[in-house]
Amino acid sequence: MPSLPRPNTKLVWIHAASVGEAASVLPVVEEMLNGNAWLQIMVTTGTVTSAMLMEQRLPHRAFHQYVPIDKQEYVEEFIDYWQPDMAIWVESEFWPNLIHTTREWGCPMVLLNARISEESFEKWSKYKNFFRDILDCFDLILPQSREDANKLKALGARKVRYLGNLKYGANALPYDEAELDRLQKMIGKRMVWVAASTHPGEEEQIIKAHLKIKEKSYGVLTVIVPRHPSRGSQIRANMPDWINTSLRSNNEKILDDTDIYIADTLGELGLFYRLSPIVFVGGSLVPHGGHNPIEPAHFECAIVSGPYMDNFSEIMTEFDKAGAVRIATNSTELAQAVFELWHNPQKRKAMSSLAYKHINKKSEVLQNIVDELEQFI
């Protein structure tokens, strides 16, 4: 059920599946609102975590609602109530009833930063006619990479235009300066690195890397920021008793002998990117597809990732060509990369500077995308 009345204005509806997609579209929301005082934007997602993030970060004249279950009667009630003037889907959310009913309502529809994984491409290739019908509902498809553009065209998409990856247009993640100062005072001059957006099966390798680094740099502090904060207590429970841990959700301090600081809170990734000059991008030591390396690049971090970055393959290729990332395939290589970058500040700063310069060269993609969207409203 809706929790708000429909605004008495033009209404753009943006649907994003979860945290990553919702965060990536925030700059679009801001730009569209800045240029159109008569507009309001509704962002729908399907997870509690993304809903909490949107409540924190959506600007004035934008609001969040949960997307309906893809059952015809619920979808019809949703569309009848909100009556959107434009609909934008982000990345790869293909709910047939929702898409076809929105098309029947008659508002323009855009698929933004569209992405098709190899697994999805193989699956949809077996049902090409069905998938082509879905793609034909969109007035415009803006893929996030040339490879995605080719896959979509192979599946029958006809209205494809590649402008670049929307993630390059994102703003730096927010952070609390007072909290940053507090953490820096607790850490002092210790060596510190951040493992961001980690997944099950990955923390074990990060702990091994920590112990290898500790053999050479006794005072090292490893900060683990799990992709899903609710896993914090379980991550701690899986560690050996002799590894000293502090849990952020329990307001536990970083002590002189703290080995692992588990930052299991929501919406604070920007704080930890600012805290450490070295960041490991998680979801990449296990075959999960990786997470966004552009986010730490905004903070001029030296970036390390595992080999499984399939969800960001084009971005990673560009980062690699720019000399802006280092790949580690296991805990030994991860430990070596972090240790070398910490103890070679000149190399670390050169690498982080290359990443920062690279993303700034690409930042014009946001305005190009917004210009394309605004023709429909």
> From the DSSP assignment, how many helices (H) and strands (E) are in the chain?
16, 13
User: What is the per-residue pLDDT for 215?
Assistant: 95
Looking at the fold, whether 218 and 160 belong to one and the same domain comes out as no
Looking at the fold, whether 367 and 353 belong to one and the same domain comes out as no
| Strand extents, DSSP E, the chain | 10-15, 39-45, 62-66, 86-90, 109-114, 140-143, 192-198, 221-226, 245-247, 260-262, 278-281, 302-305, 326-327
> Is residue 92 predicted with pLDDT exceeding 90?
no
Looking at the fold, whether 225 and 303 belong to one and the same domain comes out as yes
Q: How far apart are CA 290 and CA 200, in angstroms?
A: 13
Q: How far apart are CA 11 and CA 377, in angstroms?
A: 9
- List 72's β-bridge partners, or say none: none
If you ran DSSP here, which 8-state letter would residue 144 be given? S
Q: CA geometry: angle at 127 spanning 124 and 133, to 5°?
A: 95
In this structure, is residue 170 part of a structural domain? no
Mean of all residue pLDDT scores within the chain: 95
Q: What is the pLDDT of residues 300-331, one digit of tens each?
A: 999 999 999 998 999 999 999 999 999 999 99
Catalytic residue numbers read: 21
User: What is the per-residue pLDDT for 20?
Assistant: 83
Looking at the fold, whether 256 and 188 belong to one and the same domain comes out as yes
Q: Half-sphere exposure of residue 115, counting CA atoms within 13 Å on the CB side?
A: 22
In this structure, is residue 2 part of a structural domain? no
Looking at the fold, whether 134 and 38 belong to one and the same domain comes out as yes
Distances (CA, A) of 286 to 53, 73, 83: 26, 39, 42
Looking at the fold, whether 109 and 205 belong to one and the same domain comes out as no
**CATH number of 25's domain:** 3.40.50.11720
Under the banding of pLDDT at 50, 70 and 90, the label for residue 27 is very high
User: What is the per-residue pLDDT for 82?
Assistant: 97
> Is residue 247 predicted with pLDDT exceeding 90?
yes
Looking at the fold, whether 98 and 142 belong to one and the same domain comes out as yes
Q: Pick the range with the lowest mean pLDDT from 66-75, 114-123, 145-154, 341-350.
A: 114-123
> Is residue 1 predicted with pLDDT exceeding 80?
no
Q: Kindly report whether the global pTM for this prediction surpasses the value 0.75.
A: yes
The residue among 11, 164, 23 whose CA lies nearest residue 88 is: 11
In this structure, is residue 183 part of a structural domain? yes
Looking at the fold, whether 141 and 198 belong to one and the same domain comes out as no
User: What is the per-residue pLDDT for 93?
Assistant: 81
Looking at the fold, whether 19 and 59 belong to one and the same domain comes out as yes
> Is residue 218 predicted with pLDDT exceeding 90?
no
Average pLDDT rounded to a whole number, residues 142-170: 94
* Domain coverage including residue 247: 177-361
Average pLDDT rounded to a whole number, residues 123-150: 94
Amino acid 64 reads H
In this structure, is residue 1 part of a structural domain? no
Number of domains in the chain: 2
In this structure, is residue 63 part of a structural domain? yes
The residue among 87, 68, 183 whose CA lies nearest residue 137 is: 87
Looking at the fold, whether 152 and 185 belong to one and the same domain comes out as no
- List 39's β-bridge partners, or say none: 10
User: What is the per-residue pLDDT for 3?
Assistant: 81
Cβ atoms of 328 and 304 closer than 8 Å = yes
> Is residue 189 predicted with pLDDT exceeding 90?
yes
In this structure, is residue 171 part of a structural domain? no
Q: Can you spell out the DSSP letters for 236-288? A: HHTS-TTS-EEEGGGT----TT--EEE---SS-HHHHHHH-SEEEESSTTTTT
Give Cβ neighbours of residue 124 (< 8 Å, ≥ 6 apart): 116, 131, 155
Under the banding of pLDDT at 50, 70 and 90, the label for residue 298 is very high
Question: Which residue did the predictor score with more confidence, 117 or 195?
Answer: 195
In this structure, is residue 105 part of a structural domain? yes
User: What is the per-residue pLDDT for 150?
Assistant: 96
In this structure, is residue 3 part of a structural domain? no
Q: What is the pLDDT of residues 330-364, one digit of tens each?
A: 999 999 999 999 999 999 999 999 999 999 999 89
Amino acid 205 reads Q
Looking at the fold, whether 59 and 103 belong to one and the same domain comes out as yes
If you ran DSSP here, which 8-state letter would residue 165 be given? -
Average pLDDT rounded to a whole number, residues 201-225: 96
Looking at the fold, whether 354 and 367 belong to one and the same domain comes out as no
